[in-house]
C-alpha cells in the first residue's frame, strides 16, 4: 500500500492524505510552513507520492495586488521544498486534467461561487462520510482522480 497526497496550494486550499492505503483525511492548508511540514512529515516514511495542483501566476481578479501573487508563489515553493526535503516524489497536475478525468466539465457560464459549490458537491458525493469544505474539495477530487489512476 502506498501513501497518497493531493495538494491544492494556496491559503484557501487544502490537503488530502491517506497513509499506507488508509481512507483519506482532508484538511485546510496549514497557516505556517512549520505546520505544513509537520502535517506532511508522516508521509516521508515509506512508499508515498503526492499530486500537486499546477497553477499559474494569476491570483484573484481585477485589483489583486502583486503581493497576493508573491505570497501564493512563496507558499507553492514551500510545498515543493518540503516534498523534496522529505523525498516524496510528486506529480504536477493542471486543473483541466483532474477536472476532465472526473468529467466535471468547466466553469463556463457559472460564477466562481457556483463552480466551487459544484466541485464541493461532487467531492461530498464521493466521500459521504467525510466533512468536505470549499477549502478541501479540490484536494479531495485530485486525491480521488489519483487513487483511481485517472491522472
pLDDT, tens digit (0-9, with 9 covering 90-100), for 106-134? 889 999 899 999 999 999 999 999 999 99
What is the tally of structural domains in the chain? 1
Containing domain of residue 137, as a range?
3-147
The DSSP result for the chain, as a single string, is --EEEEEE-STT-EEEEEGGGPPPEEEEPPSSHHHHHHHHGGGGSSSEEEEEE---S--SSTT--HHHHHHHHHHHHHHHHHHHHTT--EEEE-HHHHHHHTT----TTS-HHHHHHHHHHHHHHH-TTS---TTTHHHHHHHHHHHTT--
d(CA 149, CA 101): 9
CATH number at residue 45: 3.30.420.10
pLDDT, tens digit (0-9, with 9 covering 90-100), for 13-47? 999 999 987 999 999 999 999 999 999 999 998 79
pLDDT score recorded for residue 63: 56
pTM value is 0.90
> Average per-residue pLDDT in the chain?
90
Nearest to 144 by CA among 39, 2, 20, 23: 23
d(CA 29, CA 103): 26
Amino acid at each position: 500500500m502506498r501513501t497518497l497526497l493531493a495538494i491544492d496550494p494556496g491559503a484557501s486550499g487544502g490537503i488530502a492524505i491517506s497513509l499506507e492505503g488508509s481512507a483519506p483525511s482532508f484538511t485546510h492548508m496549514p497557516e505556517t510552513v512549520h505546520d505544513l511540514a509537520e502535517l506532511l512529515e508522516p508521509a516521508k516514511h515509506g512508499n508515498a507520492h503526492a499530486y500537486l495542483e499546477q497553477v499559474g501566476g494569476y491570483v484573484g481578479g481585477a485589483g489583486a495586488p502583486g503581493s497576493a501573487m508573491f505570497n501564493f508563489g512563496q507558499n507553492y515553493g514551500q510545498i515543493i521544498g518540503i516534498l523534496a526535503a522529505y523525498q516524496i516524489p510528486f506529480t504536477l497536475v493542471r486543473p483541466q486534467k483532474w477536472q476532465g478525468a472526473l468529467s466535471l466539465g468547466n466553469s463556463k457560464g457559472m460564477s466562481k461561487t457556483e463552480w466551487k459549490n459544484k466541485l464541493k458537491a461532487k467531492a461530498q458525493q464521493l466521500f459521504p462520510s467525510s466533512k468536505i469544505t470549499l477549502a478541501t474539495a479540490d484536494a479531495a477530487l485530485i486525491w480521488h482522480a489519483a487513487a483511481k489512476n485517472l491522472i
